[in-house]
Structure 1
Amino acid sequence: MPRIYLECPARTPTSIQDLPSEVLIEIFTYLAHIDGLSPLTTVASVCQPWRSIVFNAPSVWRLIALDSRAHDIGALQTHALYWMTKSEPLEFDVEVNVAERDDILLLLSPFLSQPQKRWRSFALTGPDTHGVYLLQNVGRTTKLAISVRGDSGSIASAILGIPEEDGVKDSVNLDISQNTLGVAVNALPSPSRIHPIYLTIIHICDALPEVYTKPSALLAFLTACPNLQQFVFMGWTLRRDKDEDGDDQDDHQTFVEEKLPVVYLPHLQVLRLRSTCSTRTILSRIHTPTLSELYLTYLNVDFPLPPHVDEGDEGDSDDESGDFSRSPSSDRATGMGLRKLIKRSNPPLRVLDMDCSDMRTKDFRYVFDHLHKLEEFSIVASDLSDNVIRLLAPYYESSGRGTVKLRVPRLGVLRLFDCIRVSGDAILETLSRRAEVMVNYHCGGGTFREVSIMGCERFAQIHGQALRPRLGGAVFRYDI
């Protein structure tokens, strides 16, 4: 971009100095669109009158041009913040020219560091700029979707919170109601290189099976998101049996990391983890005192996970129940992570949804004993045993006939889908007794609002017919 040199001429009857300030502002604004740095580096240095006009004219500063091929990232971030301040209260336009895709999020972070409503337009150029998806109304962006080593399809997956193999292929044709910024990166940026991101919804996905976002990098990034209310992370649970030299190895040994600091997320209300072997580390290293909804999806794996740095914590011993499991290692990881989260944060969890995700019987007991505000529990494709379902039955406070108690006393919605090991007799007995106690004793909660039992092979029509009248006015769905 050519440099512009101006001189303040001697005053004559037709001197530029005689032009009204409004005309000079229009000229300086035009110059700023030729050279984005001209308000500070050129016009303001000509003479004091021009400097005064420039520094008091927001319109001169409303184009924010950032070029990482010519300037340092840190200097450009400072530039962006300064131009945003000087252009107040006008809307501003952003033009970004990047050397590589990882520069995009770094350069945009200043604009995400405050609830901006003045961001009017966005233009992006550079050799690797296909990795961005931005709605037109950029000033009202509330959601950030990051695809690690992805393309347009994986950005769309991150935006919607579902994997690409589930049908998302092209972000260009998406009709997304939320104002979303989607960015592809080679790796999550260090929090020391970005400004705090004050968006409330963030989705992160590993785009390819060979991509592995370390928990340390994920947790470090979350420290830069103090206003986070909803967070989704999608990874992969594929076991890799060859190293770079083609030798056999358990590549998941790379999951063993040093003990990580705890990330405080005071506003997080919704957390979704999908297809990751880092469940225990993530759940164990976040403090979420307002978390109300937790969704755990496709966390079960049939291979052993490596030892965890927190092994030896209370509850980490083998499960005494001896219940069958097709995913014992991930069951332990999920259960121990959830235990640590509950113990640290005591979250007011209202919804717990587990899809192809399991825990040991002892972990279910701990969870049910501590989630006093849980209203909805759904579990899909689980090895759920009779011992677990019977935890929902009423019990007495002491060995005698003391006060009748209920675990998760506010539970009003129960969904069991494709739980093929739990028996119809255990479901019928447990839910019948619970419904009776909920009605007659009012154990801190209400009655069932919905019960769904679908694809549970050992739950027969006779069980459904017997259970229906005992659930009162609850919506009851079952199949055989």
Structure 2
Amino acid sequence: MVVDLQDNALAALPTELLIEIFSLCTTSINPLANLNLLRVSKLWRAVVQSSPSIWQHLYLDDHSPITSSRAQAMLWVRQSRPLSFDIHLDVSQSSGLVLPLLSPLLPRMRRWRYFSMTGMRQETFDLSGYLGHRIDPLIISIQDPDDLYRSDLEQRRTFDVTPGWESMNIWVSELPKALSLAPLRFSTIVMTEYASSILTQPRAILDFLSACPSLELFFFTGSQHNDEPLLTPLPVAHLPRLRNLRLRRTCGTRSLLSYIDAPALVELHLGHLNVDFPIVGGGGARGPGNPWEDGDSDDEANDFSRSKYSDHATGMGLRRLLLRSNPPLEVLVMDWSDMRTKDFKFVFSRLERLETFFIEASDMSDKVIELLRPYYAQDEQRVKVRLPRLKSLELSTCNELSGEALLSVLTERVKVTDKWEGQGETLDEVIIAGCEKFTSRYATLLRKELGDRLRLEHE
């Protein structure tokens, strides 16, 4: 009887008024009222299903399973179309769930109206005037759990939209699992490890990257701690669009380079990877998940190295990257990062498209620079060079290189490559800085061959 009276009373109300009442229910009484209203009667169900304005307020929290939250988000997105919508995120248990909860909504940011967050951080964000297509880059700060609650973090915002800069920022103590994420469409990700008590291992990074199929630039700055023992193989992160990879201050170089598949990679920057202690885990120890590979044997050159463990790890990682992806690498920067002589030979023999090579603080010997000298291949009558497209070479603080070798190799190389037509490139720029054995006498002699193409430290 009550239901009949209710139905009769509501049936007499204009549909527009019902919509207003139901919208008020979702914003002021229960954010999930939509789902309850659908089950009351056929009339209510028809009104709720056909009224996008009732679905304009999406509430998500970190209490529900991620799969349920994702299904809820997609339902609200679909039912509110074509209107804009508001998102309220309640994160009181784990800041690591911010990205998983928002990931299915990021491709629809042009429809966002307001974003608010409660729980670990209080913030609001008005996107009503935001006309951008998407937020990019994603900036990830990995911090100790206690640091996630620092007062200065309260001043930071998940979304930073200023002229010329539109970024998403997250602060976590642990990277979210790929299974918890909808595919992330960021083209640039900057990830920095600030934590001292929480160690982010390559396995977690590779797993996260597997959810980033559109990634074009990845910049990771870590801390120098050992990898986890590899009891099982690491996951391969397939990044078909990655063009620029930058790794800095990490002992996970071998693992990361070995398990990233980047067939479009053009630039590789390796910074501050040299360490003077043994690397345990993915970069060194053998195990079921890290078998012996070609090149793991000692360097037959027996050259001096202050960082022999990281040299080995960097060289083996770069070998595996080249073998797996065969990328069209054009720029290789090694800043306080080094390899063994055998690794330089392997790499130089395969980088047919490399145009720029920069290396600083290397213990490379004359045997490495000799690899750039023209040579006659076996059973061939024409002269060849490794790195045939090399145009810019910079050597900084490479104190094991002799002046004689630099003068001889570079002179002979340009005499050959300057005459080439269609076979490759010649050096346009040579920068030699802080190489102790390259004295002014050698600089004078080399300038006679290179002219203005030679630049020295003081110039």
Tell me if both proteins adopt one fold, taking TM over 0.5 as the criterion: yes
Deviates more, 1:333-342 or 1:432-441: 432-441
Q: Equivalent residue for 1:264?
A: 238
Partner SS state of residue 462, structure 1? helix
Q: Which position in structure 2 is the counterpart of 1:433?
A: 412
Q: Which moved more, 1:26-35 or 1:264-273?
A: 26-35
Residue 145 (str. 1) matches residue 132 (str. 2): no
- Write the distance in 2 (CA, Å) between the matches of 1:94 and 1:102: 18
Structure-1 residue corresponding to 2:355? 375
Distance 1:468 1:29, change over 3 A: farther
CA contact (8 A) 1:8 1:47 kept: no
Q: Which runs of 5+ in 1 are unaligned?
A: 1-5, 156-169, 239-251
Distance 1:418 1:211, change over 3 A: farther
Pairwise CA distance, 1:449: 2.9
Match for 1:406 among 373, 380, 385?
A: 385
Corresponding position of 1:422:
401
Q: Which moved more, 1:306-315 or 1:452-461?
A: 306-315
Alignment of structure 1 residues 349-364 onto 2, 5 Å: 349-364=329-344
1:37 and 2:32 aligned = yes
**What's the TM-score, normalizing by structure 1?**
0.83
- The amino acid of 1:202's aligned partner reads I
Q: Which residue of 1 aligns with 2:41?
A: 47
Correspondence 1:6-405 to 2 at 5 A: 9=6, 11=8, 17-34=11-28, 35-42=30-37, 44-69=38-63, 71-100=64-93, 101-112=95-106, 114=107, 116-126=109-119, 128-129=120-121, 140-150=134-144, 177-238=164-225, 252=226, 254-306=228-280, 307-309=285-287, 310-398=290-378, 402-405=381-384
Structure 1 154/479 Cα, relative in aligned 2: closer, same or farther at 3 Å?
Answer: farther
SS in structure 1 of the partner of residue 352 of structure 2: coil
- In the alignment, residue 199 of structure 2 is paired with which amino acid? Y
Identity of aligned residues (%): 40
Change (3 A) 1:65 1:9: same
Shift of 1:154: 9.3
Stretch moving more, 60-69 or 267-276: 60-69
Cα shift at 1:40: 2.4
Q: Is the 8 A contact 2:114 2:126 kept in 1?
A: no
User: 1:197, CA displacement in angstroms?
Assistant: 1.8
Q: Does 1:453 align with 2:432?
A: yes
Matched residues in 1 for 2:5 and 2:213: separation?
A: 48
The amino acid of 2:337's aligned partner reads S
In the alignment, the residues of structure 2 paired with residue 398 and residue 342 of structure 1 have an alpha-carbon distance, to the nearest angstrom, of: 24
Question: 1:120, CA displacement in angstroms?
Answer: 3.1
- Structure 2 distance, partners of 1:394, 1:320, is 22
Q: Distance in 2 between matches of 1:150 and 1:176?
A: 32
Report the CA distance between 1:87 and its aligned residue: 1.7
Superposition deviation, residue 465 in structure 1: 2.9
Task: Give the corresponding residue for 1:163.
Answer: none
Amino acid of the residue matched to residue 243 of structure 2? Q
How far the C-alpha of 1:17 sits from its partner, in A, is 4.0
Deviation at 1:150, TM superposition (A): 4.9
The AA in structure 1 aligned to 2:390 is: L
Deviation, structure 1 residue 233? 1.9
C-alpha spacing 1:473/1:48, structure 2 compared with 1 (3 Å): farther
Task: Name the SS for the 2:388 alignment partner.
Answer: coil
Structure 2 unaligned blocks of 5 or more: 150-154
Q: Deviations over 1:319-355 (max 9, x none)?
A: 1111110000110110011001101110111111111
1:135 and 1:180 in contact (8 A); partners too: no
SS at match of 1:321: coil
Deviation for aligned residue 1:116: 4.0
SS of equivalent to 1:294: strand
Q: Secondary structure at the match of 1:219?
A: helix
Equivalent position SS for 1:432: helix
- Following superposition, the deviation at residue 94 of structure 1 comes to 1.1
**Are the structure 2 counterparts of residues 308 and 17 from structure 1 closer, same or farther at C-alpha, using a change threshold of 3 Å?**
same
Offset of 1:415 from its aligned partner?
1.5
- Per the alignment, do residues 41 and 398 of structure 1 end up closer, same or farther by CA in structure 2, a change over 3 Å counting? same
- 1:303: Cα distance to partner? 0.5
Q: Residues of 1 paired with 2:161 and 2:406: CA distance?
A: 42
CA–CA separation in structure 1 for the residues paired with 2:156 and 2:369? 42
**Cα shift at 1:295:** 1.0
Q: How many residues align?
A: 442
Instruction: Report how far residue 370 of structure 1 moved.
Output: 0.2
Note if contact 2:114-2:125 (Cα within 8 Å) is conserved in structure 1.
no
